[in-house]
Amino acid sequence: MTGRRALPALFSDDVLRRFLDAAAAEYVFITPDAPRPCFGVLLGTVADDALLVSDIAFGRNARTTDPSARAEFATTIVPRFGSAYENAVRAWWFAPEDLLRVSRAADERGLDILGSIHLHPDWHRLGPACERDRPLSDRPTPMDEYVFRSAGWPLNVVCYLERQHGGFYYSLAAWDGDCAPLSLRVHASAAAVSV
C-alpha cells in the first residue's frame, strides 16, 4: 500500500442500508457476554479516482468452527490483544468457503473484493463492567489494525452503532490496508437531494 495514492471510497447507499439493517439486527441481541459481531465484504470496482463500492456480501463466522481460526486466536490474537478475545463471539473470521464463494460470484459479475465493513457497538455501555473505560468508535482498534494489515485490502470500513433516545445512530470511517484514513462518501439518491 505504501506509495500508492489514497483513493476515496464512494459508497452505495443501498450497501450502507443493507449493512446497517444487518448490524441493527445483531445489536439487539448483544449482552455483556455476547458482543455479536457483524461483518461484510465490500464489492465493487477500482476507478482511476475512487474505490466504487456497489455491493456487499455476508458470510458465516467460522471463529468457533474452523481449526485455523481457533489456532490463530489461541496463539496470536489472545496473547497479543488480550483475554477479551477468548470470548468466542468477539471478532470475526470469515468462513473460507464463503469467501471463496463471494470471490467467484464477484468475478462473474466483473466486481472485485475491495475490503470489509464491520460493526463497533457501544460496547462500553452494553458490555461487562471491565469494558466501561474502553469506548469503541469508528476508529480501528489495535486488533482491527492487525486484521487490516494482514488482509491487505485497500478499503476497511468501521461502523460505530449506538442506541440512544429511542433510535439507532451511527458513524462511519474508512481506512486503507496500512490503517491510514480514507475519505468516504455515501451516494445520495436524487430523491434525497433537492437542488
Cell representation of residue 128: 461487562
Name the pTM for this structure: 0.91
Reply yes or no on whether the pLDDT at 33 is more than 90: no
The pLDDT tens digits of the residues spanning 86-100 come to 888 888 889 999 999
Q: 17 vs 9, 70, 111, 171, 195, CA distance in Å?
A: 16, 32, 20, 13, 24
Reply yes or no on whether the pLDDT at 5 is more than 90: no
Please say whether the dihedral angle defined by the alpha carbons of residues 126, 27, 182 and 149, taken in this order, is positive or negative: positive
The pLDDT tens digits of the residues spanning 147-195 come to 999 999 999 999 999 999 989 999 999 999 999 999 999 998 655 544 4
Reply yes or no on whether the pLDDT at 7 is more than 50: yes
In 3D space, the residue among 94, 75, 74 whose CA is nearest the CA of residue 153 turns out to be 94
Are the C-beta atoms of residues 154 and 45 closer than 8 Å to each other? no
pLDDT at 191: 52
- The pLDDT mean for the chain works out to 90
The pLDDT tens digits of the residues spanning 77-129 come to 999 999 888 888 888 889 999 999 999 999 999 999 999 999 999 988 888 88
The pLDDT tens digits of the residues spanning 13-27 come to 999 999 999 999 999
